[in-house]
Amino acid sequence: MDLKLKDKIALITGGSRGIGRATALRFAEEGCKVAICARGQEGLDKTLAELQDLGVETFGTTADVAQKGDTERFINSAAEALGGVDILINNVGGTAGSRDLITSTDEDWQQTFDLNLFHAVRAIRAALPHMQKQNGGSVVTIASISGWKPSNRGAQYGSTKAAEIFLSGALAWELAPHNIRVNTVSPGSLYFPGGGWERFKKETPEDFARFESRELPAGRLGTDFEVADVVVFLASERANWINGAAIPVDGAQGRPNAF
């Protein structure tokens, strides 16, 4: 199937590893111009080289999207370098500080919201005028099944992911008159090089094996590229009538991890 993505301009926050890197490579395989940001220069350069090997125009810069101004700088610099913005993937996410309520601080919660929800707000706001110049666009935010159902010690992270899902649903209505679609993808537990589950497997292989067999109907974790395939389709014109959707990509896991 031709996704009609050739020469579209796709921007991905946190594009040097995991879902972000996989998504950037999938867009490049479809012939997109691709821009990525990352906090570390080494990982950024490595992924940019992989993208360039696929023969597409690229742009990359270091940025910490939790810091006010960095997100906007990335969006605007990428638009200038590549000629606009057609697609925005809000991929950066995580948790700051303690995950427990009693030991976490207001600053921990604020940083986690900055890293997840507010980074997406800033990125969409910055991309909007560029998409309007292109007569439309597509936004996909990477949320999590943690935003669907609660888990032990998951209040802080899950709250931000639930907020991202709500944000996309609301902005789908607000931005539809501008021909801009806004959706979320909610991954389950994923295994990829350098990821948390890889570390968990190395440190506690027996617990990892029990988790896989107990929580995953297929008996394995998903991969970053399996999520990226959905993200790229959702961003494409082939998904033109999907708007305001929250799509789980979790192999029927259905709930956040229990560890």
Question: Which residues are annotated as catalytic?
Answer: 157
Name which of 163, 134, 132 is nearest 147 in CA terms. 163
- Go through the chain and tell me how many residues it has: 259
Half-sphere exposure of 52 (CA within 13 A, CB side): 9
Tell me the CA distances in angstroms from 212 to 59, 148, 195, 198, one per residue in order: 37, 20, 16, 12
Between CA 147 and CA 20 the distance in angstroms is 19
Tell me the CA distances in angstroms from 141 to 112, 183, 207, 249, one per residue in order: 16, 6, 31, 13
The answer to whether the beta carbons of residues 200 and 212 sit under 8 Å apart is no
Radius of gyration of the chain (CA): 18
**Mind spelling out the 3-state secondary structure of 233-252?**
HHHCHHHCCCCCCEEEECCC
